[in-house]
Structure 1
Amino acid sequence: MRTRAAAAALSFARLWRRALPRPWPNAACDPTTERCRAPPSAAERRRASRNAGRATADGPTVRSYDWTVARATRAPAGVERELVLVNGEFPGPAIHARLGDQVRVRVRNALEGDESTSVHFHGMHQRGSNAMDGVPGVTQCGIPPGGEMTYVFNVTQTGTFWWHSHSHQQRGDGMFGALVLTGPDEQYVAGRDYDDDLLVVVHDHYHRPAAEAYSWYLSRQSSGFEPVPDVGLINGRGRADCARLPAAVRPRCDASKGQTARFEFVPGRRYRLRIINTSSLAELSVSLDDHVLSVVEADSTEVEPLDVHYVPLGPGQRYSVLVEADSLLPAVLLRVHMHKSCFNYVNLALDRDFAAVVEYSAPPIGLAGRLRRAIRSASRPPVSAAWQDVLPEQECVDLDPTQLRPLADGHVPDADIRYQIQPKNIQLERMNLAPFGFINRTSFMPAIGAPNLHVALGLVDAADTVAVPTVSARYNTPRWGGDQLVVDVPFGSVVEIVIQNSDEAAHPFHLHGHDFWVLDTYAEYKIGLGAWRPYYTDRYRLEGALKRDTVMVPRRGYAVIRWVADNPGLWAMHCHILWHLSAGMMMQWSVGLDRVSEQPTAAMLEHCAHERELGAALLRPLPGDEFRKNTVTVPHGPTLPE
């Protein structure tokens, strides 16, 4: 506990330090070691310039990455398990590029059996490169084992993004990483508004393979409850409590292999923390002891600074915060809290609070340094205190969008058309009570070897592919095959979407290819359903509305978003909870397909031909198939209205 004298000294020293010149004005932060260091030497700069993926030329350049996807055994929290990794890294390699650059990512699939893979660049609009959006069944077929393809796209945006697999449950097995894009049009500039970047990737983690967890989720054992995580990680590091683990898992646990993520602050510097939630399920709140977080970015949209103590993030969301390194404590905790209201049962192995350590480097010379040394010596061992704000545990919701004001014009145009969609987890007796995800009356089930973009371009006829069993037990859709909700919207129209959520769980909804304005969100905290009504348009925030690409739709509530359909292509929209997405909670928007001029690469066509050759060998039984008849040989035919 600090004395009054120590607290006074702390406040005075902070004011004094802010008047001091900042050391290391050109210091850099290495995201692989999470440590800030002195400016690179000439030799280091020469070595960096030879790295095509991290080139630093002033003009546009090609940023090339060479990735191999393979399974490997790791113990990120002290518990050994198999992960799906890119180049053996967890999290995967970070991509850095500048506005106007071209990014080329060569992906080789070294997985075994028939496990395909893919890469989606979350938040990228992919203007003119819809085929590179990385969604199997929509824009491509999966990259088969032994196969490879190169994703190529031009950088037309700036901000904090991330990439992840869109195949199977590979994201839950560790196939994800950061994507940071910078450019001259940014309002918050490194070297002027802040000194260094730090990547803070926060995520939940399971001690079993994601496919195993998903199989449990679809079984009667789950009662429709999503698998609750076993531990939380920061930049792939964490510590599990071996004593709390089930007996079957305990032999795989070695506490000495667990690691705590560490960052280093240089006193007097200002840091930009790029926080990314890559979780399969958990909403997380991030705070930093003894430091105020100034939010300046939400899902790549720059906003006016908003000072907070906690930043909540749903799966798929990102925030940037500026932090003054002005604490006189030798070390503080960067805390992450999992919201229990997102979970349907208690996992006794899980500690919902986890943290990284932020250490201060040697204090500067002068009065501030002497005061800091005195406080350090008087406070050993160093223990920082969490902020005493009461976290709102009752719901999983976004940071209040009305508090975030975009720096760019936030005026929202009038809507030309409105759609209402209703995501819902439904358990059907004929499906053995498996909790499949629906949007309206459709649970996404793509055709085999006929992604919709290829169908739209006339490269393949879905009717010529093997029919797939559908959760709805309907005929395969005549145009697209499988069971898919694809909505045509006029090119250039302003589209309003009311997402009505009657589930007992929040849904973080992500739209590919576009950003959207968040006009209104509402949750019914007590009883009943917070249903949207047409006269609720009076509640819309039409001036200063926040634009983003992922929004938390509260449980028993709704969200209203609006976007301009000006990017030709087929664009997925789905819940970003891994278990809901895997179970079918996805739809697509068809925008100006007659304006799509790009053609899939030869590798993409080859992968789809291979998939069609395998045909029925890729079909998997659906839960409840043992109680049904003719589930595999479903003919193509007319479908019911959506």
Structure 2
Amino acid sequence: MAISLSHFPITLALLLAFGSIVAEAANGTVTYDFNITWVRANPDLAFERPTIGINGQWPLPIMYAEVGDQVIVNVDNQLGNQTTSLHFHGLFQNGTTAMDGPSQVSQCGIPPGSKMTYNFTITQPGTYWYHSHDKGQYPDGLRAPLIISDPDFPYKDQVDEEFVLSVSDWYHDQMQTLIPQFINKANPTGAEPVPQAALLNDTQNLTVAVQPGKTYLFRMVNIGAFAGQYIWFEGHNMTIVEVDGVYTDGAEADRIYLGAAQRCSVMITTKNETTANYAFVASMDTTLFDVIPDDLNWNSTGWLVYDSNKPNPDPTILEDDQFNEFDDFTLIPVDKFPLLPEPDQTVTLDVVMDVLGNGKPYAFFGDISYTAQKVPTLYTVMSTGQDAMNPLVYGDYSHPFVLEKDQVVEIVVNNHDGDADSGKHPFHLHGHNFQAIARSGEEAGDFDNTNSSQTDYPAVPMRRDTFVLYPDGYIVLRFKADNPGVWLFHCHIEWHVDQGLIATMVEAPLEIQKTQTIPQDHIDICKAGGIPYAGNAAANTVNLLDLSGANQAPKPLPAGFTARGIVAMTFSCIAALLGLATISWYGLADMGAASKLEEERRIARMNGESEGVVSENSGSEINTKVG
């Protein structure tokens, strides 16, 4: 199956054509009516499965808006069996933290049969995406690009046309089947489920019609759950001009890497002749996988089609050492925004993957595995008065950090994942982008702020909202807390979100109370779902410092246990059980034989026969059974 991809200018007609229901697109207002339901899809032509669609369709519509627009998204949850939510990934939600979307953080999950409206103003241009932020749900299909156009785009005079290109991994099983199998005593090492396929624009064998001698802007988005993706265009160079909504000085690249949730816009100038068509490839980063199934094709291929009458060639097989992906740390923002000053607050987070006392694998920042609280954290902010400045009210297991307005905050992440092969983590901050001021290579150990070689920060750091941490290394991120709200910081590998690799930034909570409100329809969905919407993390509205009953992660293992130890203990227990079963079987065999012997003796006595003869014969039978 080949699907032609046309360019996507921002017009009402094309918005309608791509399935978005636009009720109004005038006076800077764009309205989407999204009826979220189950549909069926088979994007890899290998397995048809239930998939989450919008307005009865999948793939989902690409959302479009312009800087300054008011966007209204009316959501009607008709899934029937699951709550849901929408997060508009990368949008700052300035002044509208209630519209950010993570369930039990900035809202309650929308129950089946309920409706809720997201209403916010676009303040930034660039390439983004929207997805569910509830129940690990977006790999089931609830995700698509979101494009914000900008009349002041610095490269607009060089671009003839635009294309939107999503890359993703795809699973045949639903998340509500996979998650319990993954976080399970039978998987103590925490091996993540490996996807069944790679997709381009939610399909395979994608074709893009191009014309000679033109420059195209490709807006690329990794909407996958797990796999980072290498992307390259055969016979064409790429010029990077944007990452995660931040315009950059043009940077030439022959291959780029997009971690889960990252975006990158590149310009490609086509050749002047139409003598051939050219393959482009998205290749999943298989180093993330604990095992590679024999039937997995980790590449997805598309074609730049100059002439539809000519064949689409097979892609050239390339080894990893034939070219390297571009290092995004070296990018320079167009605005040349300088390095922020020394931090007012430093948050150090050590990534750990381990097993808790229930024998299941979890993810931790330090010793805390995030657990959603009884009251959405934003609602705790709005209902605790001056105590909102006290991190205790948010519950230990939301892993909260209270930030003061306009502080410079530094986040240091050290990777103690323990897996030198598959320990990459794409970390994402809601409500902000950040300056990426340091990143080590693999196996560099922890960050040391007294080491001058590690603190030689660039004068103009690159910025983005999702940044990849390498195995056994570190990253250092810096941002200004100038956007009051409740914002998550988490790894964007969905399996690690499900395991608890999340922290909560509660930014200027008293300012939130003064300047923001929770819409009534948001409160109504909490009521419909039976979720408390006031008080501390434990829903206590009387004694805000009493956290009795707050949700917690399972208790830790006794000291000395490790995931490897759990595996050994599991197999030891299995061996012991098998041994006990064998002993019991033999014991029952002995008892049966002894009972038979006694019965033969009784019969012999009755018949006046010699017991010795019977004993000798029967003893031989017992010995045969035992031997």
TM norm structure 1: 0.76
Partner of 1:543: 459
1:108 is aligned with what amino acid?
A: D
- Structure-2 separation of matches of 1:330 and 1:580: 43
8 Å CA contact retained: 2:354, 2:363 = yes
CA 142–459 in structure 1, closer or farther in 2 if over 3 Å, else same: farther
- Structure-2 separation of matches of 1:638 and 1:107: 31
- Residue 92 of structure 1: how far off its partner (Å): 1.7
2:380 is aligned with what amino acid?
A: V
Partner of 1:441: 367
Residue 523 of structure 1 aligns to a residue whose secondary structure is coil
Partner of 1:284: 229
8 Å CA contact retained: 1:121, 1:163 = yes
Partner of 2:575: none
Q: Comparing 99-108 with 337-346, which one deviates more in the overlay?
A: 337-346
Partner of 1:499: 413
C-alpha deviations, 1:399-447, integer Å up to 9, x for none?
413431111123112122222111222112x222x21121222222122
Residue 431 of structure 1 aligns to a residue whose secondary structure is coil
8 Å CA contact retained: 1:201, 1:275 = yes
8 Å CA contact retained: 2:9, 2:162 = no
- Residue 381 of structure 1: how far off its partner (Å): 7.0
Partner of 1:266: 211
Partner of 1:221: 186
Match of 1:193 among 155, 158, 177: 158
* 2:309 maps to 1:390: no
Match of 1:419 among 340, 347, 360: 347
Which segments of 5 or more consecutive residues in structure 2 lack a partner in the other structure? 534-546, 554-627
8 Å CA contact retained: 1:36, 1:265 = no
C-alpha deviations, 1:267-286, integer Å up to 9, x for none?
22111111100111101011
Partner of 1:211: 176
Partner of 2:65: 97
* 2:377 maps to 1:452: yes
Partner of 2:291: 345
- Residue 46 of structure 1: how far off its partner (Å): 12
* 2:62 maps to 1:147: no
C-alpha deviations, 1:233-276, integer Å up to 9, x for none?
011103xxxxxxxxxxxxxxxxxxxxx22211112211111110
* 2:468 maps to 1:552: yes
- Residue 392 of structure 1: how far off its partner (Å): 7.3
- Residue 183 of structure 1: how far off its partner (Å): 1.8
- Structure-1 separation of matches of 2:62 and 2:16: 18
Residue 312 of structure 1 aligns to a residue whose secondary structure is strand
- The within-5 A match list for 1:127-526 is 127-189=94-156, 192-222=157-187, 223-238=189-204, 260-326=205-271, 328-361=274-307, 382-383=313-314, 385=316, 390=321, 399-415=326-342, 416-428=344-356, 430-432=357-359, 434-448=360-374, 450-458=375-383, 479-481=393-395, 483-503=397-417, 504=419, 505-525=423-443
Partner of 1:80: 48
C-alpha deviations, 1:607-639, integer Å up to 9, x for none?
112333699xxxxxxxxxxxxxxxxx9735999
Give identity over the alignment, percent. Answer: 27
CA 409–231 in structure 1, closer or farther in 2 if over 3 Å, else same: same
8 Å CA contact retained: 1:109, 1:148 = yes
- Residue 55 of structure 1: how far off its partner (Å): 7.6
C-alpha deviations, 1:474-520, integer Å up to 9, x for none?
xxx96235821110112101111110111121111100001100011
Residue 232 of structure 1 aligns to a residue whose secondary structure is strand
1:506 is aligned with what amino acid?
A: K
- Structure-2 separation of matches of 1:541 and 1:559: 12
CA 534–320 in structure 1, closer or farther in 2 if over 3 Å, else same: same
- Structure-2 separation of matches of 1:44 and 1:635: 53
- Residue 56 of structure 1: how far off its partner (Å): 7.4
- Structure-1 separation of matches of 2:552 and 2:10: 65
- Structure-2 separation of matches of 1:614 and 1:56: 36
CA 637–334 in structure 1, closer or farther in 2 if over 3 Å, else same: closer
- Residue 307 of structure 1: how far off its partner (Å): 1.2
- Residue 289 of structure 1: how far off its partner (Å): 1.0
Partner of 1:109: 77
CA 146–381 in structure 1, closer or farther in 2 if over 3 Å, else same: closer
Q: Comparing 351-360 with 561-570, which one deviates more in the overlay?
A: 351-360
- Structure-2 separation of matches of 1:184 and 1:357: 30
8 Å CA contact retained: 1:446, 1:481 = no
- Structure-1 separation of matches of 2:226 and 2:282: 15
C-alpha deviations, 1:64-105, integer Å up to 9, x for none?
001011112211111111111222333321111111110111
- Structure-2 separation of matches of 1:512 and 1:383: 40
**Based on CA coordinates, which of the two structures has the bigger radius of gyration?**
2
| RMSD (Å) for aligned C-alpha atoms | 3.2
8 Å CA contact retained: 2:8, 2:162 = no
Residue 483 of structure 1 aligns to a residue whose secondary structure is helix
8 Å CA contact retained: 1:507, 1:577 = yes
CA 98–482 in structure 1, closer or farther in 2 if over 3 Å, else same: same
- Residue 599 of structure 1: how far off its partner (Å): 1.1
Residue 475 of structure 2 aligns to a residue whose secondary structure is strand
- Structure-2 separation of matches of 1:385 and 1:328: 19
- Residue 460 of structure 1: how far off its partner (Å): 11
- The within-5 A match list for 1:594-609 is 594-596=510-512, 597-609=515-527
- Structure-2 separation of matches of 1:36 and 1:279: 22
CA 67–507 in structure 1, closer or farther in 2 if over 3 Å, else same: same
- Structure-2 separation of matches of 1:425 and 1:591: 27
8 Å CA contact retained: 2:163, 2:219 = yes
- Structure-2 separation of matches of 1:524 and 1:594: 41
8 Å CA contact retained: 1:333, 1:358 = yes
- Residue 348 of structure 1: how far off its partner (Å): 2.0
CA 135–305 in structure 1, closer or farther in 2 if over 3 Å, else same: same
Which segments of 5 or more consecutive residues in structure 1 lack a partner in the other structure? 1-31, 239-259, 363-372, 463-476, 616-632
1:438 is aligned with what amino acid?
A: F
Residue 261 of structure 2 aligns to a residue whose secondary structure is coil
